Amino acid sequence: MKIILNLLKPFKSKLIISLTMKSIAAIADLFLPWIIAYMIDVTIPMLRAETNPSLMPLYTAGIIMVVISFLGLYFNISANRRAEEIAALAVKNLRHDLFQKIENLSANQVDMLTRPSLISRMTTDTYNVYRATAVMQRLGVRAPVLLIGGIFMSLLLDPILTLVMVSMLPLILIIVYFTSKKGIPLYRQTQKKVDVLIRTLREYITGSRVVRALSMNEHEMNRFDKSNQDTVDSELTATITMSRINPMMRAVMNLGLVIVLVFGAFRVNIGMTEKGQIMAFVTYFTIILTAMMSITRVFVLSSRASASGERIYEVIDLPEDLKDGYEDILEDTYLPHIEFEDVSFSYNQKESNLSDVSFKLKKGQTLGIIGATGSGKTTIINLLMRFYDVDKGSVKIYGKDVRDLKQNDLRKRISVVFQNDLIFADSIYGNIQFNRQKIDNDDIEKATRIAQADFIYQKENQYETQMAQKGMNLSGGQKQRVLIARAVAGKPDIMILDDASSALDYQTDLNMRNSLKEELEDTTMIIIAQRISSLRDSDLILLIDEGKVIAKGTHEELMKNSKLYQEIAHYQLGGDQL
């Protein structure tokens, strides 16, 4: 409830108008039974008593009822439209805040929350909050007005019968309270199951080709069925628990109605109550029952929204994991451009992923990193770009620790092509330019030439050729060349190629490396590769194994001093290299 109220604060003026209209519509509905009672108990007996009765009083009462009904209808519809508009705008702001927070989460926080869970919070949870926000505006005022107004009008008709009816309300409140108390944890559990379902679906869609190639469709279907069934079971448990409210409440209210009718019949029989009053009283009782049902619905939806809201604000309220630095990057050619000083790091704080890694690079130099899968090559890049902070040691740019530098300034100076980088469902031009205003057509053409992406000119629409999601309409080598062109177009101070040429043939790889060396001579390069041929011209090569630098130097130095490097060269380049 508190979450929804905070969401509605920016729309205070619109909300007041909407709730006022809703209250007027509810009050209008309350007058109709009273007019009916007046017609039955006063107007009709008066007509019977007259010798020449005039039907004008009856017509007048009927016209008043029609006018009140249409006023109630108009205000109801207008208020409902405003409620939906306010709810949509409020949740739009919530989604914006959540997305902005997700953008600023550290890699460690994303790992902790998991990507499927973030997707679920961004979609399912925000929708639950939207539904509750809209319903609370429509029913959150109307239902209490009808409840309190119905009791008040009933008191005016017959205080004794009203007391009989009101005596049922505490029992209903107890039912609603204890059931809702059970419902919130169940809805929270349901959303966790939805996270698992989204993760399973996402894995299948991403790896559908692999699944089909290995004939594992049945296995994946079983995995999905299990996740789907777990979600359904959790949803049913929560829904069944909360659905007990309505039948129990109806039973209590119907019991109260029976008691009211028995007492009412007795009071009519002894002349203490009129028949029209009993008829109006039953109508008010129905209005009160409907109001209670509406309040119950608000409780059910708010319980679900409360669970979803907690999950959303669990992300929004996360403390800043990587505090932004305050210093700008100032170029100093007398200092190393990049320096790792005794760096150690662990992703889970249990097993070491990097241990005592040290190296220096001057501006314009090239670092090559080679090693087995999982040896820690990409971790070095993650620490340089400050996706994670080191556990020990320091990473420096021109002598300043990256923890003291402004993250935006640091990352603007770096272009990177990751192992599993992303082609967006946009044109080739859009993928290379990537909405960076400083990049013009000349920059893109130059980047295309350096990246050896000449295949673009062979396409019918050239740069305007639309890419499928994840670049499915490009070959592996074409995707890598577009990604390299994107990195080059940014004119970076530091360029990182993380296994970015693995799908290129040797000649294209050689041509690309020569172009990079010629055109980006002032750019510091970091190249991670499995092929020595991609690294042999580097100023410094690190041989990584299990997070440790077991050898470093130029290609020639490593060929003399590192047995493991010699073995890799023997298998990749042939025995004549030894």
Residue with more model confidence, 203 or 510: 510
Per-residue model confidence as pLDDT tens digits over 429-483: 887 877 777 888 888 888 888 888 888 888 778 878 877 766 677 777 788 888 8
pLDDT at 578: 45
Q: What is the mean pLDDT of residues 68-90?
A: 84
Please list, in sequence order, all residues whose beta carbon lies within 8 angstroms of the beta carbon of residue 428, skipping any fewer than 6 positions away: 456, 459, 462, 463, 464, 465, 467, 482
pLDDT at 70: 86
DSSP strand pairing (366-371 vs 524-528):
parallel
Torsion of the alpha carbons at 75, 77, 79 and 81, rounded to the nearest 10: -150
pLDDT at 438: 80
Residue with tokens 């890049």: 381
> Would you place residue 101 in the very low, low, confident or very high pLDDT band (cuts 50, 70, 90)?
confident
Question: Do 286 and 367 have their domain in common?
Answer: no
Q: What is the CATH number of the domain that holds 114?
A: 1.20.1560.10
**Residue 285 · residue 258 · CB < 8 Å:** no
Strand-pair partners of 327? 405
User: Residue 401 and residue 338: Cα distance in Å, rounded?
Assistant: 10
Is the pLDDT at 501 greater than 80? The verdict is no
Question: Do 345 and 303 have their domain in common?
Answer: no
Per-residue model confidence as pLDDT tens digits over 517-546: 888 878 888 888 887 877 888 888 888 888
Per-residue model confidence as pLDDT tens digits over 323-371: 778 888 887 778 888 888 888 888 877 778 888 888 888 888 888 888 8
Question: Do 304 and 342 have their domain in common?
Answer: no
Is the pLDDT at 373 greater than 50? The verdict is yes
Residue 124 lies in a domain: yes
Total domains in the chain come to 2
pLDDT at 205: 60
Q: What is the mean pLDDT of residues 174-180?
A: 73
Concatenated DSSP letters of 466-491: BPPGGGTTS-HHHHHHHHHHHHHHT-
Residue 464 lies in a domain: yes
User: Residue 527 and residue 487: Cα distance in Å, rounded?
Assistant: 13
Question: Do 308 and 408 have their domain in common?
Answer: no
Average of per-residue pLDDT values in the chain: 79
Please list, in sequence order, all residues whose beta carbon lies within 8 angstroms of the beta carbon of residue 127, skipping any fewer than 6 positions away: 91
pLDDT at 210: 61
User: Residue 277 and residue 155: Cα distance in Å, rounded?
Assistant: 11
Residue 324 lies in a domain: no
Question: Do 62 and 117 have their domain in common?
Answer: yes
Is the pLDDT at 575 greater than 60? The verdict is no
Question: Do 225 and 182 have their domain in common?
Answer: yes
Residue 81 lies in a domain: yes
Please list, in sequence order, all residues whose beta carbon lies within 8 angstroms of the beta carbon of residue 554, skipping any fewer than 6 positions away: 538, 539, 540, 541
Q: What is the CATH number of the domain that holds 356?
A: 3.40.50.300
Residue 53 lies in a domain: yes
Question: Do 178 and 218 have their domain in common?
Answer: yes
Phi-psi region of 554 (alpha: psi -120 to 50; beta: other; left: phi over 0): beta
Q: How far apart are the first and last CA of the chain?
A: 73
Of the three residues 316, 351, 368, the one that is the final residue of a domain is 316
User: Residue 136 and residue 303: Cα distance in Å, rounded?
Assistant: 12
**Residue 547 · residue 353 · CB < 8 Å:** yes
Per-residue model confidence as pLDDT tens digits over 128-164: 888 888 887 777 778 888 888 888 887 777 777 777 7
DSSP state of 372: -
pLDDT at 50: 63
Q: What is the mean pLDDT of residues 536-563?
A: 84
Nearest to 145 by CA among 285, 27, 295: 27
**Residue 37 · residue 282 · CB < 8 Å:** no
pLDDT at 208: 61
pLDDT at 463: 79
Residue 333 lies in a domain: no
pTM of the complete model: 0.66
Is the pLDDT at 576 greater than 60? The verdict is no
Q: Which of 83-92, 139-148, 197-206, 257-266 has the lowest mean pLDDT?
A: 197-206
Question: Do 6 and 81 have their domain in common?
Answer: yes
Phi-psi region of 273 (alpha: psi -120 to 50; beta: other; left: phi over 0): beta
Question: Do 282 and 363 have their domain in common?
Answer: no
Nearest to 154 by CA among 291, 268, 287: 287
Q: Could you list the residue range(s) of the whole structural domain that residue 363 is in?
A: 338-577
Residue with more model confidence, 209 or 359: 359
For the record, the structure tokens of 531 come out as 């092929």
Concatenated DSSP letters of 137-188: HHHTTHHHHHHHHHHHHHHHH-HHHHHHHHTTHHHHHHHHHHHHHHHHHHHH
User: Residue 259 and residue 168: Cα distance in Å, rounded?
Assistant: 11
pLDDT at 442: 84
Of the three residues 316, 348, 379, the one that is the final residue of a domain is 316
For the record, the structure tokens of 445 come out as 């053409």
Of the three residues 316, 349, 374, the one that is the final residue of a domain is 316
Question: Do 286 and 233 have their domain in common?
Answer: yes
Residue with more model confidence, 198 or 134: 134
Write phi, then psi, for 98 (nearest 5 degrees). Answer: -65, -45
Is the pLDDT at 17 greater than 80? The verdict is yes
Is the pLDDT at 293 greater than 70? The verdict is yes
Question: Do 118 and 20 have their domain in common?
Answer: yes
Per-residue model confidence as pLDDT tens digits over 413-430: 888 888 777 777 778 888
Question: Do 346 and 434 have their domain in common?
Answer: yes
pLDDT at 209: 59
pLDDT at 215: 61
Q: Is the dihedral of CA 370, 348, 419, 221 positive or negative?
A: positive
Residue 106 lies in a domain: yes
Is the pLDDT at 16 greater than 70? The verdict is yes
User: Residue 565 and residue 567: Cα distance in Å, rounded?
Assistant: 5
Per-residue model confidence as pLDDT tens digits over 255-270: 777 877 777 777 777 7
Residue 89 lies in a domain: yes
Q: What is the mean pLDDT of residues 62-85?
A: 84
pLDDT at 577: 46
Residue with more model confidence, 274 or 487: 487
Nearest to 547 by CA among 341, 339, 353, 347: 353
For the record, the structure tokens of 452 come out as 């050896």
User: Residue 535 and residue 498: Cα distance in Å, rounded?
Assistant: 12
Nearest to 205 by CA among 224, 186, 230: 224
Task: Specify the DSSP element, H or E, that contains 571.
Answer: helix 563-573
